Amino acid sequence: MKVSVDRDVCIAAGQCAITSPEVFGQRDEDGLVELLLREPPAELAAGVRLAVSLCPSRAITVRE
């Protein structure tokens, strides 16, 4: 699994950071998504997929 984020699309809702804090964070200055792990381990995959589905702006992309 490879994860990428698009900060130009992000609206700083924070659902990703709440759902999968090991993989996603939020920048202090503007709240936009911050990718902490580009290739998360398999045990975090379910949380990443949930974060993708909860993102209101669809700023997260996952490639298997």
Averaged pLDDT for residues 32-56: 98
Region for 5 from its dihedrals, namely left if φ exceeds 0, alpha if ψ lies in -120 to 50, beta otherwise: beta
Which residue has tokens 């609206």? Answer: 11
Class in CATH terms, 2-63:
alpha beta
CA distances from 47 to 16, 24, 50, 62 (A): 9, 10, 5, 12
Which tens digit of pLDDT belongs to each residue from 49-61? 999 999 999 999 9
* Predicted pLDDT at 35: 98
pLDDT category, 1, cuts 50, 70, 90? very high
Say what percent of the chain tops pLDDT 70: 100
Domain parsing of the chain, residue ranges:
2-63
Averaged pLDDT for residues 29-57: 98
